[in-house]
Structure 1
Amino acid sequence: MSEPFLIGDAMTGGYGRGADILHGCTIAVERGQIAVIVGPNGAGKSTAMKAVFGMLDLRQGAVRLDGEDITALTPQARVAKGMGFVPQTHNIFTSMSVEENLEMGAFLRQDDFRGTMEQVYDLFPILREKRHQAAGELSGGQRQQVAVGRSLMTKPKVLMLDEPTAGVSPIVMDELFDRIIEVARTGISILMVEQNARQALEIADKGYVLVQGANAFTGTGQDLLADDDVRRSFLGG
């Protein structure tokens, strides 16, 4: 069996010298697939994502990307390796225009990035329309599109999204999920933490239910949606 494209393998760790939040947690995503991390508040979902991105030190376990051990790399070095991360909040430059935000996403690139910007505008047409507007003036859903678009400007192999639909309307949530599916179809792996568990599992190739920093259930999105224990405990019946 070949290893998943990205894996945080048996991760144990926390922030600084504090107590461990993750306890042997494993999260993985295949190339061009969508993996979703769900679970109750305080389950360690965002912490697991940050651990994969190198934002906290692991006491045990490893992170590997395309077979390479990247456990010791900084987040910046992981971006250079092809990982993009969109935090839940403070994920855009509010005083800059939409286009300037996208240009900031290309800061590591030495090549001509205008083609990538066109791809982002094709994916999010509203951003093309508002490209000269200050990003801080946009709606919540449009800001999230800017944040995702800026991360796509790095030409990532893996796009990590922390609660991408937090605070947006159900219509905007559906639209964002549709765009996420489109991104995955281009061959980019998607790893995301999501509070809207049922909707997220519907689009997930793989789902991870975390409880107290450990894997409680793992399976395809459809398997987890059909699991009575998962439905009763985490999806409201």
Structure 2
Amino acid sequence: MTAFLSGTNMVGGYGVVDILRGCTIEVESGQVAVIVGPNGAGKSTGMKALFGMLKLRQGTVTLAGEDITALTPQARVAKGMSFVPQTDNVFASMTVEENLEMGGLTQREGVQDTMAQIYDLFPVLKEKRYQPAGQLSGGQRQQVAVGRAMMTRPKVLMLDEPTAGVSPVVMDDLFDRIIDIARSGVAVLMVEQNARQALQIADRGYVLVQGENRYSGSGPELLRQEDVRKSFLGG
């Protein structure tokens, strides 16, 4: 059986250089999948390929069993995918609520109900809903970015380095909210530099090296592997 979102034997890159060299990444509905690995391993490139921002030279991407390899990012959003980049992921001059409203533009109904769910998920955003997003802390801006992505009511939520630059306390809270999102039935796929902490919450983990799958398994399985701990988790 094919996973809900699957990128199989993906080969692609920039110019004539292949960054992805046959890697496979999958995530099921209601689960968290995490991609870790050294800098330059192809983690973010893999996410872009899955979202249609990078054209593959080889391989296929499927969503709910449908081949979406040739679809644009916009078409993938219409199919239920949402992507949060690492940087420049909020409209800094707009208020928190305006950012969320922008995320809901594609929805014909139920926008206010969805926004209420986002405020339940991230209570601090309700407190600061009339404040410009650019005035928030790094962790709060990340909450806005995730919240805006969730306004599309996605089936797949893709996060590129969601805890970059935030404190350990904020990181733990973001991971808790990501677990909550997955438990609601959303397939969550994220690239994360905080590998040990991310694998602790991962139903599925992928260690990429030079665009290839070096290790894969559940988060706990990867944390128990001595080679993974020594090479990628600091011992």
With the shorter chain as reference, the TM-score category is over 0.9
Alpha-carbon displacement from aligned partner over 1:36-80 (angstroms, at most 9, x marks no partner):
000001101000011000001100000000000000000011000
Are 2:31 and 1:40 equivalent residues in the alignment? no
1:185 to 183, 186, 210: 183
The residue aligned with 1:150 is 148
The residue aligned with 1:6 is 5
Once residues 97 and 235 of structure 1 are traced to their aligned partners in structure 2, the CA distance between those partners, rounded to angstroms, is: 38
1:227: Cα distance to partner?
A: 0.3
- 1:58-137 map, 5 Å: 58-137=56-135
1:142: Cα distance to partner?
A: 0.1
SS in 1 for 2:109: coil
The residue aligned with 1:23 is 21
Once residues 92 and 126 of structure 1 are traced to their aligned partners in structure 2, the CA distance between those partners, rounded to angstroms, is: 16
1:107: Cα distance to partner?
A: 1.6
Give the unaligned 5+ runs of structure 2.
none
The residue aligned with 1:220 is 218
Once residues 112 and 145 of structure 1 are traced to their aligned partners in structure 2, the CA distance between those partners, rounded to angstroms, is: 21
1:153: Cα distance to partner?
A: 0.1
Are 2:208 and 1:210 equivalent residues in the alignment? yes
The residue aligned with 2:194 is 196
Once residues 82 and 76 of structure 1 are traced to their aligned partners in structure 2, the CA distance between those partners, rounded to angstroms, is: 10
Amino acid at match of 2:215: F
Once residues 5 and 26 of structure 1 are traced to their aligned partners in structure 2, the CA distance between those partners, rounded to angstroms, is: 13
1:29: Cα distance to partner?
A: 0.2
Amino acid at match of 2:142: Q
Segments of 4+ moved more than 2 angstroms:
none
Amino acid at match of 2:216: T
Once residues 90 and 37 of structure 2 are traced to their aligned partners in structure 1, the CA distance between those partners, rounded to angstroms, is: 26
Once residues 13 and 79 of structure 1 are traced to their aligned partners in structure 2, the CA distance between those partners, rounded to angstroms, is: 21
Amino acid at match of 2:156: V
Amino acid at match of 1:51: A
Once residues 4 and 56 of structure 1 are traced to their aligned partners in structure 2, the CA distance between those partners, rounded to angstroms, is: 21
Amino acid at match of 1:69: D
Once residues 94 and 64 of structure 2 are traced to their aligned partners in structure 1, the CA distance between those partners, rounded to angstroms, is: 35
Once residues 2 and 43 of structure 2 are traced to their aligned partners in structure 1, the CA distance between those partners, rounded to angstroms, is: 22
1:110: Cα distance to partner?
A: 1.3
SS in 2 for 1:58: coil
1:18: Cα distance to partner?
A: 3.2
1:112: Cα distance to partner?
A: 2.8
TM-score by length of 2: 0.99
1:145: Cα distance to partner?
A: 0.1
